[in-house]
Amino acid sequence: MRLDLSGRTALVTGSTQGIGRAIAAGLARSGARVGVNGRSAGSVDAAIDRLRAEVDGADLVAVPADVTTDDGAAAALEVLPAVDVLVNNLGIFEATPALEITDAEWRRYFEVNVLAAVRLTRAYLPGMRACGWGRVLYIASDSAVVIPAEMIHYGMTKTALLAVSRGFAKEAAGSGVTVNSVIAGPTHTGGVEDFVYQLVDRDLPWDEAQREFMRRHRPQSLLQRLIEPDEIANLVVYLSSAQASATTGAAVRVDGGYVDSILP
């Protein structure tokens, strides 16, 4: 199967590192023009330099903007007034005991992980419908279904994204635009390494720490290892392609079998 996104423009929020950067690379390899987004011009420029070294001929656009704010979203729209593919990847997470999560943290997690994606969907979906083609994707998590005791505020936001995705898919019904969420399992990123070491002995070498984390905190994983960001990106690229035209309103799992259910 050849996934050709030539002539398409994509915006990937939070794409200077981790899963977002892998998604940007995957879309660029498939021929898309990709907007690389981060909060600062320096981080975006550095990410673009790395991506160009990694992907021959990558067509990349710098989109420095804090899309969690109205002004930041407007700045992104000024650079990319229209896109064919919107990947709402931006998200934050941190382990915090449930009774210690403050009102301010609950609001911050909702605004960053949910409202930023809603705001950009509202901005770009009308143009996609007018063109009769588009892809809107939300990077959710196994935590949407299996709420982790150590970060229920994060799990709440990822559950909300499943509802947002299904709702906007109904708004786009019959238009040629598909809207889906991706349920990503425990993934190996720099941020996750820090998270793992919050929960296991910091003196352990990484390979041992990873195994201990999976054994103690994610024992239901059938993969029995952390997922690599490129493995998430592969599914996102497929869902962004013409070949995924009949998949919409779905929560598609790339979770290593973590969620113990036949359906999401």
Which positions are annotated as active-site residues? 154
Report how far residue 71's alpha carbon sits from residue 219's, in angstroms, rounded to the nearest whole number. Answer: 42
C-beta atoms surrounding 250 within 10 Å: 20
249 exposed, middle or buried (CB, 10 Å; 0-12, 13-18, 19+)? Answer: middle
- Amino acid identity at 155: G
Q: Report in angstroms the alpha-carbon separations of 115 from 79, 90, 98, 119, 162.
A: 20, 11, 22, 6, 13
Inter-residue long-range contacts of 174-177, CB under 8 Å, 24+ positions, other chains counted? 175/128, 175/129, 175/132, 175/134, 176/129, 176/131, 176/132, 176/133, 176/134, 177/125, 177/128, 177/129, 177/132, 177/133, 177/134, 177/135, 177/136, 177/248
Element (H, E) at 46: helix 41-54
